[in-house]
Amino acid sequence: MDENSIFVNSKNVFLDTVNPKDYVQLDRVSTIYQSLQASIQRALKMILLYGKPGTGKSMFLTKLYDDLHEVRPIFLYQTPIIDESEFYRTLAKDVCDVSIDEELNFTQFMKILEDKNFEEVPVVLLDEAQLYSDALMEKIRLLSDTRKIKFVIALHKTEKEDLIAKEHFQTRIWESIELENSSKSELKIYIQKKLMKANCFDTASMFNTKVVNKIHKLTQGNYRETNKLLYTLFALYETYEKNQQLHKVTVNQISPKLIEMAAIHTGLIDA
């Protein structure tokens, strides 16, 4: 029963995973993605990709990696490598094909990098770059100055610390791309496309403009929050279905009551 339930299938669509197959092509996002691809082709030292959590930075990097890893040398690091020596050793192994078991410092790695001649400049994608220390970030800047390696850095835009204003980014970043929350219309397309990709046409048709507006009001168009909310929403539908209480809620469109219940459960509404 569970496997055939449209609500279970729809629930699984909104599992919070970073899978390039789940990437939803939206007009604005598509434009940004194309400009990012173009930036990589150009002789830029560093590219900054920033935005609030849940705006799709990780998905962007994943998609970029997925699209380019067969055509050019590209390396994605979703989890930050906090240890400096390990960071250099990882880069030496992946980018330069040099395996070093011992400690590797910045000077040693620079020498390895200078000795290496790349046919095409390798691209290193660093997600969650706000977790790197300032010292390491400074060294990443110096590495990019060699033009032997290109960095795409994704980080959170925090209010406390405007990273773009930092000196080492101000002087050296040639391109910065900001990712934002979706608009109402984008959110509707996002939800419906996501569901239709998983062949959940019935549930996709349950999202009319009014329902999406309500969801947008709760999540501010944030993709991660939306995924969380909709996952809980379909989990609720699933529960009602299991308890044979579907008559309590509307099924021709998403029940506002269930949206609010899901928001209470996920903490979007403080009840």
Partner 1 sequence: MLNTHDLEKRWLQYKIKSYIPYLVLVLTLIFILTAVVFFMNDSQEDSNKVKNNSVQRTEQTSLEKQEEKTKPVQTKVQTAIANKPIYQTKEDKKEPAPQISSTQNNVILKPSMDFMKKLHTSTPDSYHPTSIPTKKKTEKKVVKKRKEVSKQKVPKEEYIEIEAQKPIQEIKEKAPQEQKVQITIKRRESENDIKEVIKRFQKNNNPALSLFAAKKYYELGNYKQAYNYALVTNKINNDIEESWLIFAKSLVKLGKKEQALKTLHEYIKYSHSSNAQVLFDEIQRGKFQ
- Under the criterion CB under 8 A, does residue 82 sit at the interface with partner 1? no
Whose Cβ is closer to partner 1: residue 163's or residue 268's? 268
CB of 16 to partner 1, least distance (A): 17
Residues 86-145 that bind partner 1 (CB under 8 A): none
* Binding residue (CB under 8 A) for partner 1 from 15, 82, 164, 269: 269
* Binding residue (CB under 8 A) for partner 1 from 1, 43, 71, 271: 271
Whose Cβ is closer to partner 1: residue 135's or residue 264's? 264
Which among 171, 163, 164, 233 is positioned nearest to 14, based on CA atoms?
233
Are 24 and 189 in contact by the 8 Å Cβ rule? The answer is: yes
Whose Cβ is closer to partner 1: residue 223's or residue 234's? 234
User: What's the half-sphere exposure (Cβ side, CA atoms, 13 Å) at 40?
Assistant: 26
CB of 216 to partner 1, least distance (A): 18
CB of 15 to partner 1, least distance (A): 16
User: What's the half-sphere exposure (Cβ side, CA atoms, 13 Å) at 130?
Assistant: 18
Q: Are strands 175-179 and 150-156 parallel, antiparallel or unpaired?
A: unpaired
From the number of C-beta atoms within 10 Å of its C-beta (0-12, 13-18, 19+), residue 265 rates as middle
- Under the criterion CB under 8 A, does residue 261 sit at the interface with partner 1? yes
- Under the criterion CB under 8 A, does residue 8 sit at the interface with partner 1? no
Four-point Cα dihedral 129, 133, 134, 137, nearest 10: -50
Select from 23-31, 41-49, 149-157, 261-269 the region that touches partner 1 (CB under 8 A).
Answer: 261-269
CB of 237 to partner 1, least distance (A): 10
Which among 165, 159, 94 is positioned nearest to 126, based on CA atoms?
94
CB of 264 to partner 1, least distance (A): 5
**Exposure letters 98-135 (e unless 16+ CB within 10 A, then b):** beeeeebebebbbebbeeeeeeeebbbbbbbbbebeee
Are 245 and 201 in contact by the 8 Å Cβ rule? The answer is: no
Residues 198-257 that bind partner 1 (CB under 8 A): 232, 235-236, 239-240, 242-243, 245, 257
Select from 32-40, 151-159, 162-170, 260-268 the region that touches partner 1 (CB under 8 A).
Answer: 260-268
Whose Cβ is closer to partner 1: residue 172's or residue 265's? 265
Residues that bind partner 1 (CB under 8 A): 232, 235-236, 239-240, 242-243, 245, 257, 260-261, 264-265, 269, 271
